[in-house]
């Protein structure tokens, strides 16, 4: 009886805890619903204020509700690139907006293609004779790429601006796995398919190094060209070739060094900056505190400037993040979810379909499911156009093959035509502790694959054959789509990644251009003139919970943004969080249940912002998997 009472008390405690949790979530939801719709009437004369307290992405991910309860600080927000561009273009034409202000104090970054497109929209504002002012305590490469397009750039006295350039280092676990006596069985096709190298090597292979040098070199030149065009006075050569001498010339004062190199125009704290903006647009009538200025926030401005919905509809399906099996996303490209969106919209009489891709690839099975769903539109004689943002590699290129035309930018990472699979086994490690396997087999495949006793030779041979078959299918799809023989595709395939400029020369990409260019081309293919069509983004507004949580994350990130300065040392120390995230992601990658992969390692390493922006699995999902509460 005593044991039964203890069990009953435990169950009651669990019930009470869950009741309190759901009650808390209920009141949070009520508050968010009441505040999630910005007041259109709140638009006022002054500045458009873009507080970018997070990352610019193709498709904001769905926040995990559990993170709101256990996080010690507000999660970073994610801002849709097309929303920011729409806001800037509307500001350029609206007389109520006198200037645009970018607060980049908590800006983490984004992919280079996104930043370049936002920068081009900032140029449109300046072309309309409206000033664009940027402020941050610290500018990294991504912040500088945006700030270069501003007419006036400010930095905090304790801050600075530093140029790191493209490139970086990967983590390699070959030596660790050998010490732990864990065998990573690798099955791959492609000389350059380096996604498996962290598990079998201690360093980068010569082939992978060759490809990385070409890729990162091209991206670095593209970054410098964009900054030089937007801000010709910036001395990037000095900052990037002699950073120590450059900093010492200003007595170690990073803010003064940034100004001396013309990376920034003015040094001042947030109050100084606010007073400067107030000179241009007027003071904030609701906030008499120093540094206040009249402004309209991004959410309110977007609510007042809805996209047009006139004319025929052109569908846009977004494939953003790693391609995975199941219903994952947004922010991850769940094959089942995206295929379902496409199938449900098949009868909506779209004039054309644009496939917007920002993905390093992933599950080959999920990529094929998405490709097959896109192909169904092609069979109905609906024009299909692909538009690649930062990434359209490996599985991300696989899903582009049904398109009759592929758009990309010089800074797009694409190609990586290759597949692989990794299966870890633990027979050597466990044998040291006296754990062995034995039994009866009726066929060579009985009890296989055996992760404890090791893989049978027949299993290894079959897995390699399966991977080779997947590569042959990949090559065939690309060859059919691009009008090339299998031999021609194999020569530019082999898992090698390419920058967008080289990919265009190789015939993997047809034309430079962004999403707008792809939409315009699709409209012409559908014989529609300007003003006769509008874009419909599949999945937008379909999930009220997603909209609610995304708004909560954005609101919390803005309300908890730091108001003081931050120096370079603080930013460098913050990289430890990124390192932990990389380790956890790599552990998840090798231990999770995965099939044959069409995934690009270079797309998510060596480019810090892209790596940081890669959606991680929600905390609740990771806990569920670790404790066996999911069937995945």
Give the catalytic positions in this structure: 193, 394
Contacts of 356 (CB under 8 A, 6+ apart): 58, 316, 317, 318, 319, 320, 387, 389, 515, 518
**Contact indicator for 385, 401 with CB cutoff of 8 Å:** no
What distance in Å separates the CA atoms of residue 571 and residue 73, rounded to the nearest whole number?
Answer: 17
Q: Which of 414, 403, 402, 392 is nearest to 522 (CA)?
A: 403
Q: Spell out the residues 6+ positions from residue 357 whose beta carbon is closer than 8 angstroms to its own.
A: 319, 320, 386, 387, 388, 389, 391, 392, 396, 399, 400
Instruction: Please tell me the distance from the alpha carbon of residue 132 to that of residue 211, in angstroms, as a whole number.
Output: 38
With a CB cutoff of 8 Å and minimum separation 6, the contacts of 572 are none
In angstroms, the CA 384 to CA 382 distance is 6
The angle, 0 to 180 degrees and rounded to 10, between the axes of the packed helices 364-379 and 457-482 is 30
- DSSP annotation of 196: G
CA distance 368 to 567: 47
Give residues with Cβ within 8 angstroms of 489, minimum separation 6.
417, 475, 478, 479, 482
CB of 133 within 8 A of CB of 152?
yes
Using CA atoms, how far apart are residues 213 and 207, in angstroms rounded to an integer?
Answer: 10
| CA distance between the termini of the chain | 39
Q: Counting beta carbons within 10 angstroms of the beta carbon of residue 400, is it exposed (0 to 12), middle (13 to 18) or buried (19 or more)? A: buried
Distance CA 78, CA 613 (A): 9
Under a CB-based contact definition with an 8 Å cutoff, are residues 489 and 186 in contact?
Answer: no
CA separation, residue 282 to residues 96, 97, 99, 273, 561 (Å): 12, 11, 11, 13, 23
User: CA 446, CA 2: separation in Å to the nearest integer?
Assistant: 48
Strands (E), 344-464: 352-359, 361-363, 384-393, 405-408, 413-415, 419-425
């Amino acid at each position: 009886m005593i044991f039964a009472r203890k069990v009953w008390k435990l169950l009651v405690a669990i019930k009470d805890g869950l009741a309190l949790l759901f009650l808390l979530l209920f009141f949070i939801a009520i508050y968010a619903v009441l505040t999630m719709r910005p007041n259109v009437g709140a638009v006022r004369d002054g500045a458009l204020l873009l507080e970018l307290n997070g990352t610019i992405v193709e498709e904001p991910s769905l926040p995990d509700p559990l993170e709101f309860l256990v996080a010690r600080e507000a999660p970073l927000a994610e801002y849709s690139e097309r929303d920011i561009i729409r806001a800037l273009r509307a500001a350029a034409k609206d007389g109520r907006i006198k200037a645009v202000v970018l607060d980049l104090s908590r800006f983490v970054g984004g992919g280079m293609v996104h930043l370049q497109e936002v920068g081009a929209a900032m140029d449109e504002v300046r072309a309309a004779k409206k000033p664009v002012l940027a402020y941050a305590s610290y500018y990294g490469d991504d912040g500088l790429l945006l700030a270069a397009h501003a007419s006036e750039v400010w930095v905090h006295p304790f801050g600075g601006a530093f140029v790191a350039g493209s490139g970086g280092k990967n983590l390699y676990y070959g030596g660790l796995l050998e010490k732990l006596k864990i065998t990573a069985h690798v099955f791959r096709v492609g000389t350059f398919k380096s996604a498996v190298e962290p598990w079998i090597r201690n360093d980068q292979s010569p082939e992978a190094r060759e490809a990385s040098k070409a890729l990162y070199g091209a991206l670095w030149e593209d970054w410098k060209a964009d900054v030089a065009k937007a801000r010709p006075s910036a001395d990037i050569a000095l900052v990037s070739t002699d950073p120590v001498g450059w900093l010492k010339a200003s007595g170690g004062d990073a803010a003064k060094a940034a100004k001396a190199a013309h990376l920034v125009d003015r040094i001042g704290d947030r109050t100084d900056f606010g007073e400067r903006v107030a000179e241009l647009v007027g003071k904030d009538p609701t906030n008499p505190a120093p540094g206040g200025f009249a402004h309209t926030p991004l959410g309110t401005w977007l609510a007042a400037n809805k996209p047009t919905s006139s004319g025929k509809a052109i569908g846009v399906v977004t494939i953003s993040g790693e391609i995975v099996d199941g219903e994952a996303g947004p922010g991850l490209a769940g094959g089942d979810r995206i295929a379902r969106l496409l199938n449900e919209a098949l009868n909506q009489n779209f004039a054309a379909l644009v496939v917007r891709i920002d993905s390093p690839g992933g599950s080959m099975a999920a990529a094929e499911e998405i490709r097959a769903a896109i192909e169904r539109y092609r069979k109905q004689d609906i024009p299909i156009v692909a538009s690649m943002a930062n990434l359209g590699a490996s599985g991300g290129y696989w899903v582009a093959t049904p398109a009759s035309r592929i758009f990309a930018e010089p800074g797009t990472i694409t190609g990586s035509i290759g597949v692989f699979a990794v299966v870890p086994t633990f027979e050597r490690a466990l044998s040291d502790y006296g754990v062995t396997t034995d039994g009866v087999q009726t066929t060579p495949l009985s009890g296989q694959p055996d992760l404890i006793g090791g893989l049978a030779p027949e299993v290894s041979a079959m897995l390699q054959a399966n991977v080779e078959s997947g590569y042959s299918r990949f090559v065939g799809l690309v060859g059919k789509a691009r009008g090339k023989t299998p031999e021609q595709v194999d020569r530019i395939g082999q898992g090698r990644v390419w920058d967008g400029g080289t990919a265009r020369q190789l015939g993997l990409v047809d034309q430079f251009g962004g999403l707008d260019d792809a939409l315009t081309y699709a409209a012409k293919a559908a014989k529609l003139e300007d003003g006769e069509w509008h874009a419909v983004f599949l999945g937008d507004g379909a999930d009220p919970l997603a909209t609610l949580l995304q708004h909560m994350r954005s609101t919390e990130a803005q309300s908890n943004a730091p108001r003081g300065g931050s120096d370079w040392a603080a930013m460098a120390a913050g990289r430890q969080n990124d390192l932990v995230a990389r380790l956890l992601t790599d552990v998840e990658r090798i231990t999770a249940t995965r099939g044959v992969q069409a995934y690009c390692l270079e797309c998510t390493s060596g480019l810090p912002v892209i790596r940081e922006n890669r959606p991680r699995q929600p905390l609740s999902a990771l806990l569920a998997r670790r404790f066996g509460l999911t069937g995945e």
